[in-house]
Amino acid sequence: MRLAWAGVGCEDWGCLAPAVGVVVALTLALLAGTALALERVGVRPGRRVALTAAGVLVVLRLASEVLPSWTSQLADAATTGLVFAGAGALAAFVTEAGSPGRRRLVAALALMALLPVALATSVVRHGI
């Protein structure tokens, strides 16, 4: 987001639309590239796994808003790597045809339950 904002080249709210457009274009390009890369290495269906992993990352990112920020860049990088690996593993499990349907449903519901829990935690911690 910071790179896209710097790429647009202004620090004013009038640049919000171009900055968001650049972020959306970059996100779509990365998502398409990820789907292509997954297809090339034999992960099928690559598009579905990439979209699921992106959705998992969005949910995890929203849920992580209630966590305190790290003071160390190394800890931040390690946490980011673990979140990406976890999102990929969860996406692979949920989209795998051989996985039991009940377990996939439980994993998806547990992931969706993170959002209300994070919201409730945020309200309790910071108030409304």
The C-alpha atoms of residue 56 and residue 24 are separated, in whole angstroms, by: 18
34 pLDDT tier (thresholds 50, 70, 90): confident
Residue 65 has pLDDT above 80, yes or no: no
The C-alpha atoms of residue 57 and residue 62 are separated, in whole angstroms, by: 9
Which tokens is 65 given?
């808003």
* pLDDT score of 12: 66
Taking residues 96-103, what's their average pLDDT?
Answer: 82
* pLDDT score of 79: 84
Residue 44 has pLDDT above 80, yes or no: no
6 pLDDT tier (thresholds 50, 70, 90): low
Q: What is the secondary structure of 52-87 as a DSSP string?
A: HHHHHHHHHHHHGGGSPPPS-HHHHHHHHHHHHHHH
60 pLDDT tier (thresholds 50, 70, 90): confident
Degrees, nearest 5: CA angle 45-48-50: 105
* pLDDT score of 1: 59
